[in-house]
């Protein structure tokens, strides 16, 4: 690998940096977008159960808030009802929507950076290709140069290697980055839909609880 990087010349170093950053972002998103961290399957049912007759205590609400992203949204409804037992359904919705926007922003963190790498890597590869072509044309010596054909074969070979290695490495970085960006984007959209549906059901439950 080191020999390839050396053969590709200095234009490949930005691509190496992009590949390391993309790998770090992919690992981070895999760790933090697990279902247990975002929307555990039975959390909504548990929240409905503990608040069947009344709003749970502050300790229970805090525990729910720290459970997951969905728990944070549901806990905001409890807190709104605790703060103002006479709040309207619109107030409950507004409180949970505000918490939901914060959670959504956190779920989408680093996805823009990953998409930027997917878009920029081919351009960086193209930059390396152009630089390699410049070296190829630069190897064309004037009449009376190093060879009978007027071309320096060492510079010519180096220019071709710079062009091809950078083009290939740019695609190697861009393709996985694009695939994982689309995967994480779909996963986040699925989580947001799940939380939206859960919040709608929970608001109706809180409104019924408020009227008791």
Question: For residue 56, what pLDDT is reported?
Answer: 87
Instruction: Tell me the helices (H) and strands (E) count for the chain, helix number first.
Output: 9, 0
Buried b (16+ CB within 10 A) or exposed e, 185-206: eebbeebbebbeebbeebbebb
pLDDT tens profile 52-81: 888 888 899 999 999 999 999 999 999 998
Least confident span in 32-46, 156-170, 180-194: 156-170
Domain with 189 in it:
2-210
Beta bridge partners, 151, equal 140
- CA separation, residue 136 to residues 94, 122, 130, 131, 168 (Å): 63, 21, 10, 9, 18
Domain count, the chain: 1
Question: For residue 57, what pLDDT is reported?
Answer: 85
Mean per-residue pLDDT for 13-22? 92
Buried b (16+ CB within 10 A) or exposed e, 148-171: eeebbeebbebbebbbbbbbbbbe
Tokens 């959390």 found at:
43
Question: For residue 146, what pLDDT is reported?
Answer: 45
Q: Which of 170, 157, 172, 156 is nearest to 128 (CA)?
A: 170
* pTM (predicted TM-score): 0.82
pLDDT tens profile 162-189: 778 888 889 999 999 999 999 999 999 9
pLDDT tens profile 95-128: 999 999 999 999 999 999 999 999 999 999 888 8
Question: For residue 147, what pLDDT is reported?
Answer: 45
Confidence of residue 144 (pLDDT cuts 50, 70, 90): very low
Mean per-residue pLDDT for 181-206? 95
Q: Which of 103, 80, 101 is nearest to 207 (CA)?
A: 80
Q: What is the mean pLDDT of the chain?
A: 86
């Amino acid at each position: 690998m080191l020999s390839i990087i050396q053969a590709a010349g200095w234009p490949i170093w930005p691509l190496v940096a992009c590949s390391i950053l993309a790998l770090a972002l992919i690992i981070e998103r895999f760790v933090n977008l697990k279902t247990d961290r975002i929307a555990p399957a039975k959390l909504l049912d548990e929240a409905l159960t503990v608040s069947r007759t009344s709003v749970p205590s502050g300790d229970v609400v805090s525990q729910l808030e720290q459970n997951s992203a969905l728990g944070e949204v549901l806990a905001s409804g409890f807190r709104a009802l605790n703060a103002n037992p006479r709040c309207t359904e619109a107030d409950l919705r507004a409180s949970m929507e505000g918490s939901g926007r914060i959670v959504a922003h956190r779920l989408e963190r680093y996805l823009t950076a990953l998409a930027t790498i997917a878009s920029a890597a081919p351009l960086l590869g193209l930059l390396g290709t152009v630089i390699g072509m410049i070296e190829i044309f630069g190897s064309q010596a004037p009449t009376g140069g190093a060879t009978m054909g007027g071309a320096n074969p060492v510079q010519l070979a180096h220019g071709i290697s710079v062009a091809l290695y950078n083009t290939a490495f740019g695609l190697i970085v861009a393709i996985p980055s694009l695939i994982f960006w689309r995967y994480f984007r779909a996963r986040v959209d699925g989580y947001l839909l799940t939380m939206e549906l859960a919040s709608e059901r929970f608001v109706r439950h809180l409104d019924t609880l408020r009227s008791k």
